[in-house]
Amino acid sequence: MSEKLQKVLARAGHGSRREMEAVIQAGRVSVNGAVASLGDRIDLTADIKVRIDGHPVSIQTENDVVCRILAYYKPEGELCTRTDPQGRPTVFDRLPKIRGSRWVAVGRLDINTSGLLLFTTDGELANRLMHPSREVEREYAVRVFGDVTEQNLQALRMGVQLEDGEAKFKRLIAAGGEGLNHWYHAVLSEGRNREVRRLWESQGMQVSRLMRVRYGDITLPKGLPRGGWMELPLDQVNYLRRLVDLKPEGRTLLDKDKQTARRQKKIKTGKIRRAVNKHQHRKAKGPKR
């Protein structure tokens, strides 16, 4: 019973499979004291010691891991990184702590973009959802500044040449606005760096607000405060797994008992509020120096 090392590390929540491949190539992973190479496989039934940067990794089989997914309302001003040398807030700061695993971000949003960001404990799921070949839809609410013409809109729907290849919106729908400020709902089926902004900039327009409102069929939960999170129920977890051809998850850590669920909801609401307040207090104090 052997598996590729990068897949095992991703499942343990240390990053996406692609990220783990880079970590292995950098010589940061060892197996039983020997530096690992990309392409190595490990026997999950054997007594094996795996380390990243000298720190032990908990080896788990697919049956050991419960796939969990969070929907997070990312505010503007947070970085999609685990740590920042300048001490700026990151999207990981307020997530709930978990034992024996880590949250892996499904894609990224740049520092000036807000909205829905998914996190999972399953690095393989994150890797597949992010892969361009899966063409998972992302929908954004976009406010642009400029004199938008029908010719501009047609170009954005048909495709324009960017520095990293041709790009276009799968759907682009007007959503109101006044004067030179216009709102649109824009849908992409890939997640290139700053793609929404670069597409509009190709038409001489400036994006003044950008917010992701949907990933696949998962929408930003109503009533969720900025900086807040909620765990997705099993049916939504399995919707995302089916989307990328992964076996369904049969377990959930969300309690089905209504009384317990209500109590947990109160606790979670308190956690979210404390996390939001902590973030606001930190923001008021300014970045670490």
Q: Which two tokens stand for residue 227?
A: 């900086």
Question: Which pairing describes strands 218-219 and 206-215: parallel, antiparallel, or unpaired?
Answer: antiparallel
Q: Is the dihedral of CA 221, 225, 105, 56 positive or negative?
A: negative
- The helix/strand/coil state of 158 is helix
Task: Tell which phi-psi region holds residue 185, choosing left (phi > 0), alpha (psi between -120 and 50) or beta.
Answer: beta
Q: Count the Cβ atoms, other than its own, within 10 Å of residue 231.
A: 17
Total residue count of the chain as it appears in this document: 289
Task: Give burial (CB, 10 Å; 0-12/13-18/19+) of 36.
Answer: buried
Question: Which pairing describes strands 50-52 and 55-56: parallel, antiparallel, or unpaired?
Answer: antiparallel
- The helix/strand/coil state of 80 is coil
Q: List phi, psi (to 5°) of 143.
A: -110, 125
Q: Is the dihedral of CA 274, 280, 286, 287 positive or negative?
A: positive
The closest alpha carbon to 74, from 122, 121, 106, belongs to 106
Distance, in Å, from the CA atom of 28 to the CA atom of 204, rounded to the nearest integer, reads 44
Q: Which two tokens stand for residue 74?
A: 């990312």
From 47, 64, 93, 110, active-site residue:
110
Contact 161, 201 (CB under 8 A): no
Distance, in Å, from the CA atom of 138 to the CA atom of 190, rounded to the nearest integer, reads 7
110 carries an active-site annotation: yes
Residues that are catalytic = 110
